[in-house]
Amino acid sequence: MKKTRKETIDDLKKELSIIENLYKSKCVNWTGTTSDTKEFYTEIIANELLREIKELDKIPTVTRTGTYCRENHKKIEIDLASNRKEEIFAKRIAFLNLGELGEIKDYQIPLKDTRADKGLGKIDLISFNEETKTLYLIELKYEGNPETLLRASLESYTYYKIVDKPKLINDCFNTQTFILNKVYNQIDPDEISVKPAVLVVPKCNSYDELEDVELGERPKLKALALALDIKFFTVEFLTNETIL
C-alpha cells in the first residue's frame, strides 16, 4: 500500500527512538513514490534526516575486546555452491586494488563484543588507500539486492559510528592478514582517517539509485551522503563471471 508524504514522515519519526536500528527499519527501504506528492520515499526521509542530523550522533560506540582483523582471513575459502552470492563476491575481491577505494584488506569484520550485543552485523569489507591514508568501511550491495541506497548508506554510517575506530586502526595495522607483507610501519596511525562507504555493482537496486543520484534526481539523498561524508563507489568491471 502506498504511503502519503505525512505517513512517511510519521513512520520515520517512530524509528528515531532507537537510532542504531534505523537502517533496519522498513521505511528506509521503501522504493517508489508517495501516493499524494509523488516524491521518492527515500528523498522525503533523507530530507528529514538532514533536519535531524544530530540524532545520528547518538549511535553508540561498541568496543570489541577481541581483534577486528583475524589472521585466519589470510586463507580464503569460497563455497561456489553457496547461495550467499554477496559474501562470495566480497571474498573474490579481497586483496584487489580498486582505485580510489584502495586495496580491499578484509571482509566480514565483526562488531559484536559479547553475545549481549544483539543485532550488530558485520562490516562487509574494509579497504585502505595508501596515498590518502584512508580506511574505508564498506557496505556492499551485490546484483539482485533489492535494498535502497538510503538503507545501504545508513547501514554503512551506523557501523562507522559503532566501531571503535582507534582500536580498528591498531588491529588492522598489527595483523598479518591486513598488511599482507607490505611495509606500513612508516604510516602514522594518527594520520589515518576512517570513512563510511557504499560499494555497488550493476543489477542491484542501489546501483540504479546511484545512477539517479548522479543524474540529479535524488538531491536530498546526495546531500545526506555529503553531510555524513559517505562515499559511493561502483565496480562495473567486476562481476561474478570475471573474477575466477
DSSP element (H, E) containing 195 = strand 193-200
98-108 pLDDT, tens per residue?
Answer: 999 999 988 99
pLDDT of residue 180: 45
Q: Please give the tally of structural domains in the chain.
A: 1
Say if 174 falls within a structural domain.
yes
Assigned C-alpha cell, 54: 544530530
Residue 119 resides in a domain = yes
Q: pLDDT at position 113, please?
A: 83
User: What would the pLDDT profile of 108-145 be if each residue is shown by its tens digit?
Assistant: 999 988 776 776 889 999 999 999 999 999 999 999 99
C-alpha cell at 174: 598489527
Report d(CA 177, CA 194) in Å as an integer. Answer: 19
103-110 vs 193-200, strand pairing mode = unpaired
Q: Coil, strand, or helix at residue 126?
A: strand
Residue 160, domain member (yes or no): yes
178: containing domain: 62-218+227-234
- Report the Cα 54 to chain-centroid distance in Å: 20
Of the chain, the percentage scoring pLDDT greater than 70 comes to 85
Cβ atoms of 30 and 3 closer than 8 Å: yes
Cα dihedral sign, 113-127-142-214: positive
Q: What is the mean pLDDT of residues 231-243?
A: 67
Answer with the residue of higher pLDDT: 176 or 96.
96
Is the per-residue pLDDT at 30 higher than 90?
yes
Report whether pLDDT(184) > 80: no
Q: Is residue 87 part of a domain?
A: yes
Q: Is residue 5 part of a domain?
A: no
Other Cβ atoms less than 10 A from the Cβ of 179: the count is 16
Please compute the mean of the pLDDT values over residues 49-78 and round it to a whole number.
Answer: 83
- 193 part of a folded domain: yes
In this prediction, residue 244 has a pLDDT band, given cuts at 50, 70 and 90, of: very low
Q: 136 near 231, Cβ under 8 Å?
A: yes
CA-closest candidate to residue 120, choices 167, 165, 155, 72: 155
Asked whether residue 2 is domain-assigned, the answer is no
Taking 90 as the threshold, does the pLDDT of residue 150 lie above it? yes
Asked if residue 83 is part of any domain, the answer here is: yes
Which amino acid is present at 227?
A
Most confident of 3-7, 117-121, 185-189: 3-7
Predicted pLDDT at 88: 85
Residue pLDDT, tens place only, 81-94: 567 788 889 888 98
Distance CA 72, CA 120 (A): 21
pLDDT at position 121 is: 85
Task: Give me the torsion for CA of 23, 25, 31, 33, rounded to 10°.
Answer: -110
